[in-house]
Amino acid sequence: MRADQTAAWKTLAEHAKAFSSFDLRSEFARDAGRAKYFSQAAPGVFADLSKNLWDAKIESQLLALAQQAGVLAHRDRMFQGEAINTTENRAVMHWLLRHPSQGAAVDALPASVKLSLKDVHGTLSAMLLFAEKIRSDKQITDVVNIGIGGSDLGPQMAVMALQSFALKGKRFHFVANVDGHELDAVLQGLQADKTLFLVASKTFTTLETMTNALSAKRWFEAQGGTDVSRHFAALTTNVEAAGQFGIQTCFGFWDWVGGRYSLWSAIGLSLAIAIGADKFRELLAGAHAMDQHFQHADAAQNLPIRLGLLDVWYRNFLHYTSRCIAPYHSALKRFAPYLQQLEMESNGKQVDHEGQALPYGTSPVLWGEPGTNGQHAFFQMLHQGADVVPLEFVAVKNATHALPDHQALLLSNALAQAQALMVGKSDAGGHKNFAGNRPSTFILLEDLTPFNLGALIALQEHRVFVSGAVWGINSFDQWGVELGKVLAKDIHARIESGDVAGLDASTAQLLQRIRAA
Ligand code: F6P
């Protein structure tokens, strides 16, 4: 049933009307068990959801909403390998990429999914073998991942996040943009005989990636490089196109892996080279542990479900339009951009599975920067701005450096910000007044290990699934990126020819300026 037609939605709307008087400080004062009630451990992570603007009554209605909108049934269909990506008639099985090849969980899989699992493990072993070969190949000093969107953000974020596990003596570069400055800057520091290019593209048709790959190949040949099969590998579902491009070393994956969910596939090869086969398998194990939690834990103690429902509460009932993510770990520098694609490409839609317009808001704007940097930039607005922006802290208890002082200061700042947002300060008045009562979630990892990172990412994937399922949208297509691609082709031809016939006056004017001598 469409979410807004359920009984729970109507009850929640009633609760929301009475909500202007809700005050976090009074809730904590009233209920000594609040922190515990709204906190929970899940594989790899601990989450404190208690500083959010909700109470047990609201959460139980949200759980009822999930039930009435068919979220749990939808989740089960995903784990059965059904084609829940309806507009592309595809299954959604990124979770299978981290599924163990043996054990009781395998027996529970449908026969066709079991077959896919065999392919998954065949490719995984081959890719990890290749990763180990490159790791021990002293001649290769630089690995360049050429890809964009999901073929860039996931591996780039994870290579950076797990840098403390990365092999010394090899450098990792990520080239995404069609802006030649990016590739050029990377190429300037490379030697052809010491470089491995990974051309990462699910479709092997993406303009940016194909343009960069071609330029990289030309550069390689111009530098005297001859052995393309040794210096280029393709990571793609389109093995044929990779072959036509002249790349023989190819690691495949499948159309049931969405681009933004593909870190776990061959797209993760740069990461596997950086951290090695065993650690890559630990990443998969962490994600699998979260999959199991999402699939089997009771909804009331199911962290992705709780987070996804909280997102719905904020978006549709309190009408907050954005969520800020603040990782308190500098190695999670690329986490917010990664989550941006995950959330906004998945749920930035306005129609249901049948293409019917939906009357309520969907994906929030997701944004953020690591703390403490953000504190000296945009936190001002979070504390005193006119809009309420729920903030999600991600902190890591243990540091891997041995510098004294820093870690305790870092974590104190994270805790202090969450506290300040909530408690505010009203004794000063005017400019110095902090209203407080501002919501935040606090996610805590013991260590930034491959296992914990895998679990953290899978947690985010599944919370996006949950809100998308409540909204009744297909979180696994991305038709909204197509129009710009088509128009760019047309404009590219016009930049060559100068033909502005039929263009709007603004585009025509800008195009003429760009062409002017
Ligand atoms: O244009 C959007 C998109 O299709 C993303 O969904 C995807 O992650 C990215 O482009 C890259 O696509 P590919 O891996 O096929 O090159």
Q: Report the 3 state secondary structure along 101-166.
A: CCCHHHHCCCHHHHHHHHHHHHHHHHHHHHHHHHHHCCCCCEEEEECCHHHCHHHHHHHHHCHHHC
**Residue 430: is its pLDDT beyond 90?**
no
Distance CA 395, CA 46 (A): 10
Cβ 150 under 6 angstroms from ligand 1: yes
- Given the DSSP bridges, would you call strands 440-445 and 391-396 parallel, antiparallel or unpaired? parallel
CA of 44 to the centre of ligand 1 (A): 29
Cβ 260 under 6 angstroms from ligand 1: yes
Q: Is the peptide bond before 372 cis (omega within 30 degrees of 0)?
A: yes
Cβ 151 under 6 angstroms from ligand 1: yes
Closest ligand 1 atom to residue 260 Cα is 8
pLDDT at residue 368, as a whole number: 98
Phi, psi of 438 (to 5 degrees): -100, 135
Cβ 149 under 6 angstroms from ligand 1: yes
pLDDT at residue 104, as a whole number: 86
Specify whether the CB–CB gap between 292 and 461 falls below 8 A: no
Distance CA 494, CA 490 (A): 6
**Residue 187: is its pLDDT beyond 90?**
yes
pLDDT at residue 312, as a whole number: 98
CA dihedral 343→253→283→261, nearest 10 degrees, is 0
Distance CA 334, CA 357 (A): 33
CA of 149 to the centre of ligand 1 (A): 5
**Encoded amino acid at 511, one letter:** L
78-134 pLDDT, tens digit per residue, is 999 999 999 999 999 999 999 999 988 899 899 999 999 999 999 999 999 999 999
CA of 209 to the centre of ligand 1 (A): 9
Cβ 6 under 6 angstroms from ligand 1: no
Residue range 1-13: average pLDDT?
97
Specify whether the CB–CB gap between 397 and 45 falls below 8 A: no
Residue range 219-234: average pLDDT?
95
Neighbouring-strand partners of residue 198: 145, 233
Specify whether the CB–CB gap between 268 and 261 falls below 8 A: no
* 425 has catalytic annotation: no
For the chain, percent of residues with pLDDT exceeding 70: 100
Distance CA 312, CA 61 (A): 12
Distance CA 130, CA 250 (A): 10
pLDDT at residue 470, as a whole number: 98
Specify whether the CB–CB gap between 93 and 110 falls below 8 A: no
CA of 374 to the centre of ligand 1 (A): 29
Tokens coding 511: 């195009």
Pocket test for ligand 1, best of 461, 478, 486 (most atoms within 8 A of CB): 478
Catalytic one among 345, 369, 392, 461?
A: 345
Confidence grade of residue 275 (pLDDT, cut at 50, 70, 90): very high
The average confidence (pLDDT) of the chain is 97
Cβ 478 under 6 angstroms from ligand 1: yes
357-399 pLDDT, tens digit per residue, is 999 999 999 999 999 999 999 999 999 999 999 999 999 999 9
CA of 134 to the centre of ligand 1 (A): 26
Tokens coding 156: 């780039």
Cβ 73 under 6 angstroms from ligand 1: no
Pocket test for ligand 1, best of 148, 178, 486, 489 (most atoms within 8 A of CB): 148
pLDDT at residue 33, as a whole number: 98
pLDDT at residue 428, as a whole number: 66
Pocket test for ligand 1, best of 85, 88, 94, 151 (most atoms within 8 A of CB): 151
Catalytic one among 17, 168, 376, 401?
A: 376
22-59 pLDDT, tens digit per residue, is 999 999 999 999 999 999 999 999 999 999 999 999 99
For the chain, percent of residues with pLDDT exceeding 90: 96
CA of 321 to the centre of ligand 1 (A): 25
Distance CA 316, CA 293 (A): 26
Confidence grade of residue 427 (pLDDT, cut at 50, 70, 90): confident
* Sheet-wide strand order for 249-252: 171-175, 142-146, 195-200, 232-236, 249-252
CA of 152 to the centre of ligand 1 (A): 9
pLDDT at residue 20, as a whole number: 87
* 492 has catalytic annotation: no
Distance CA 204, CA 239 (A): 8
Neighbouring-strand partners of residue 367: 324
Closest ligand 1 atom to residue 153 Cα is 8
Distance between start and end Cα atoms, the chain:
59
- Is pTM beyond 0.75 here? yes
Cβ 201 under 6 angstroms from ligand 1: yes
Q: Tell me the Ramachandran region of residue 208: left when phi exceeds 0, alpha when psi lies from -120 to 50, beta otherwise.
A: alpha
Residue range 208-230: average pLDDT?
96
* 208 has catalytic annotation: no
Cβ 203 under 6 angstroms from ligand 1: yes
Catalytic one among 353, 406, 485, 492?
A: 485
Please give the DSSP secondary-structure letter assigned to residue 162: T
